[in-house]
Structure 1
């Protein structure tokens, strides 16, 4: 590989890492500066580099920006309406006693598809505490299972913003990524459960005393049924009730008018704004594949024309249309009719504000990817990697892993890996879908001090120091290792 082009790549990625870790510059600006550095070192004319950046930024957001905004808005309504809490309680009831950690992991995986990990964990953690209080133990196991269940879908399943951005940058089919991401999640959930069940009892005795009192009160924690130490604090009789309702999140719906029934949401209604868009997107993917297969007699020069039924499904199953349907369902099904219009508008504004930076980071990742393509760095790297024995699908996987460890954000890591990998996909013999899965899975590795979600989970769980590393950093690394053979299989069959 041309040393100048290799240096351009190394300095570009190094720019992101140094700026995010050592300066006040955030990931959005760091990605743009990295694109400038890459183009300059690669020898591209300055104005052509700017053109590549704006083209890549615009093309990426044209396909994915609206979808990210709508997905975050649905998550906000799930949060404030109490629908996310309903989903959690239903999972616990369905799985039964003794399988509460399965329920927590499954709940986290479902809730985190439309809701950011950080806010989702804050919403759901009171439920884990209430269950632990009733069990008189196992809080660490439940909290870690909940947090890492959220990590799986946050990294693997659109419409979570990171995977959406990766799909846009690599041109991966969104329906295919949803299906494959869900398969990865189902296969990795047992890893989450096994690690949480193994490490939880070992760390129960290392809980922060303040958190221990909040969770358990004056009860004996541990014993033969629930190993992990003994603690005493205060506990009311009301805290020992069967239901977790008193610890449920405080929602922002306000009191109903006189004569109105209190607002409650069934599981079916709570899941509707999430399930309907996902089903429509997946149905579009399946229908298109069936329709193309039915027209297999077409010659290589013949243009494919969708059948009328496939065209209808392509419209309603387009991510933009599907998520518009989802947000309409969320507003009119989940929110009670007495909710003021102004309050709903305020929630939408909050969702837009939280989505804004992710949208900008995604666009900046597209800008970097376009510079890598236009400068020739991508083609040169593909040729160099082709001479190695390393399986091609591991290239985006390890790029994402290195960036994650260096700067902490899984979203930035997977988008950076997609930007770097986009010019290489064809040369590596990879499908865009396999490359997208590799980027997403590789970004799960070793969450630690430079990851904001690390602090959310460990502070709410009450783990500090090495206990935090053994618990949270360990479980995220376990699912990363578990994803490695799945990525290799995806690279071989997709």
Structure 2
């Protein structure tokens, strides 16, 4: 590989890491500056570099920006309506006693598809505490299973913003990524449960007295100055703890004669399930129709049948998620919720989505610079000379960026941006590359990851206990995903 082009790539990635870790600039600005550095070092003219960045930014957001905003809005309504809490409690009841950690992991995986991990964990954690209080133990196991269940779908399944951004940058089929991401998550879920069940009892004694009192209602007092302790257990109902409404937003009191607001399970799951099914149906229908017409590759001319065209319309991510947000607002929120309140929640969702949209667009800008400057082609040729499987390239890039700067979303988008020009040269499908980017970004969540602090603070783990619990479980699922990534690279 040309030394100048290699230096351009290395300095571009180093720029992202240094700016995010050592300066006051965020990932959006860091990705833009990295694009400028990469283009300049690679030898592109200043004007060509700027043109590449604006082209890449616009093309990426044209395909994915609206979808990210709609997905975040659906998640916000699930939070404030109590639907996310309803999903969690239903899963616990279905799985039964002794399988609470399975229920927590499964709940986390479902809730985190539309809801950001940080806010989703804050909302669901009271349920983990109430279950631990009922069974008189295993809080660490439940809390870790919940948190890492959320990590799986947050990293692997659209419409979570990170995977959406990766799909847009790499041009991966969104329905295919949803299906493959769900398969990955289902296979990896037992890893989450087994690790949590193994490490939880080892870390349970390391809970602070304050956390133990909050969770179990237990107060230990010294008896006569000796080493013996008297333990008093405070009784609590299993449904104790703040509800979603109390913890996040007040929906307001119902009018006279109206029952308090409660979301049935079938309503809670509808705004999440309908868009996913429509997107997947579009993908399956297109594949069937192409097969019936004898169209063998994307390059072949293809005119969809009328029925496939209709499904393509309602299954387009923009239309499907628009349907989802309409269902969420009118099915989940009580009729007495003021219009201004709903608009306020939508504004909060838009604020949350804004930075993710900008980061995704900046990732597309960097990817276009890598393409147009020749860095991507040169790197593909260099990797082709190695015996390294092509699918490991985006996987390892995502892993390195994740460890360096902490954010899984930034890691997978950076890996997608760097890998986008390499996909053809590596003989790698966009879907396999997208899965590799997403899976690689799960590795070793620790001090530079905001979600690390959310989970460990709410769980009551500190120091090495936090590393053994949370950093360990995220690394375990990352390692377990490696064989799946290699299989995806071989068959997709």
Normalised by the size of structure 1, how large is the TM-score? 0.96
Alignment of 1:58-69 (within 5 A): 58-69=58-69
Q: Judging changes above 3 Å, is the alpha-carbon distance between structure 1 residues 177 and 375 closer, same or farther for their aligned structure 2 residues?
A: same
* Equivalent-residue separation in structure 1 for 2:273 and 2:298 (angstroms): 37
Which segments of 5 or more consecutive residues in structure 1 lack a partner in the other structure?
221-229
CA-CA distance at 1:232 after TM superposition: 7.2
CA-CA distance at 1:469 after TM superposition: 0.2
Task: Note if contact 2:73-2:349 (Cα within 8 Å) is conserved in structure 1.
Answer: yes
Report the equivalent of 1:36.
Answer: 36
Tell me if 1:244 matches 2:239: yes
Alignment of 1:272-291 (within 5 A): 272-291=270-289
Name the Cα RMSD after superposition. 1.5
Report the equivalent of 2:467.
Answer: 469
The runs of at least 4 aligned residues of structure 1 exceeding 4 Å deviation read: 230-235, 297-302
* Equivalent-residue separation in structure 2 for 1:246 and 1:433 (angstroms): 42
* Equivalent-residue separation in structure 2 for 1:231 and 1:256 (angstroms): 48
Tell me if 1:488 matches 2:486: yes
CA-CA distance at 1:211 after TM superposition: 1.1
Tell me if 1:91 matches 2:91: yes
Report the equivalent of 1:478.
Answer: 476
Alignment of 1:269-308 (within 5 A): 269-296=267-294, 303-308=301-306
Q: How far does the alpha carbon of each residue in 1:222-264 deviate from its partner, in whole angstroms, 9 at most, with x for none? A: xxxxxxxx99766543x1x2x3254433142111011111111
* Equivalent-residue separation in structure 2 for 1:289 and 1:234 (angstroms): 63
Task: Note if contact 1:217-1:233 (Cα within 8 Å) is conserved in structure 2.
Answer: no
Task: Note if contact 1:213-1:234 (Cα within 8 Å) is conserved in structure 2.
Answer: no
Task: Note if contact 2:155-2:408 (Cα within 8 Å) is conserved in structure 1.
Answer: yes
Task: Note if contact 2:118-2:451 (Cα within 8 Å) is conserved in structure 1.
Answer: yes
* Equivalent-residue separation in structure 1 for 2:229 and 2:414 (angstroms): 45
Report the equivalent of 1:224.
Answer: none
* Equivalent-residue separation in structure 2 for 1:265 and 1:369 (angstroms): 43
Q: How far does the alpha carbon of each residue in 1:322-347 deviate from its partner, in whole angstroms, 9 at most, with x for none? A: 00000000000000000000000000
Alignment of 1:40-79 (within 5 A): 40-79=40-79
CA-CA distance at 1:448 after TM superposition: 0.2
Normalised by the size of structure 2, how large is the TM-score? 0.96
* Equivalent-residue separation in structure 2 for 1:49 and 1:29 (angstroms): 16
Task: Note if contact 2:395-2:441 (Cα within 8 Å) is conserved in structure 1.
Answer: yes
Task: Note if contact 1:217-1:232 (Cα within 8 Å) is conserved in structure 2.
Answer: no
Report the equivalent of 2:223.
Answer: none
* Equivalent-residue separation in structure 2 for 1:373 and 1:301 (angstroms): 21
Q: How far does the alpha carbon of each residue in 1:13-54 deviate from its partner, in whole angstroms, 9 at most, with x for none? A: 000000001111100000000000000000000000000000
Report the equivalent of 1:225.
Answer: none
> Does the residue aligned with 2:214 lie in a helix, a strand or coil?
helix
Alignment of 1:99-110 (within 5 A): 99-110=99-110
Report the equivalent of 1:12.
Answer: 12
2:259 pairs, out of 261, 268, 274, with 261
Report the equivalent of 2:157.
Answer: 157
Q: Judging changes above 3 Å, is the alpha-carbon distance between structure 1 residues 119 and 304 closer, same or farther for their aligned structure 2 residues?
A: same
* Equivalent-residue separation in structure 1 for 2:233 and 2:275 (angstroms): 43
Report the equivalent of 2:423.
Answer: 425
Report the equivalent of 1:80.
Answer: 80
* Equivalent-residue separation in structure 1 for 2:471 and 2:215 (angstroms): 23
Question: Structure 1 residues 396-405 or 244-253, which shifts more?
Answer: 244-253
> Does the residue aligned with 2:218 lie in a helix, a strand or coil?
coil
Q: Judging changes above 3 Å, is the alpha-carbon distance between structure 1 residues 302 and 273 closer, same or farther for their aligned structure 2 residues?
A: closer
Tell me if 1:118 matches 2:118: yes
Tell me if 1:316 matches 2:314: yes
Q: How far does the alpha carbon of each residue in 1:257-294 deviate from its partner, in whole angstroms, 9 at most, with x for none? A: 11111111111100000000000000000000000000
> Does the residue aligned with 2:304 lie in a helix, a strand or coil?
coil
Task: Note if contact 2:295-2:302 (Cα within 8 Å) is conserved in structure 1.
Answer: no
Report the equivalent of 1:349.
Answer: 347
Which segments of 5 or more consecutive residues in structure 2 lack a partner in the other structure?
221-227
Report the equivalent of 1:226.
Answer: none
* Equivalent-residue separation in structure 2 for 1:328 and 1:366 (angstroms): 30
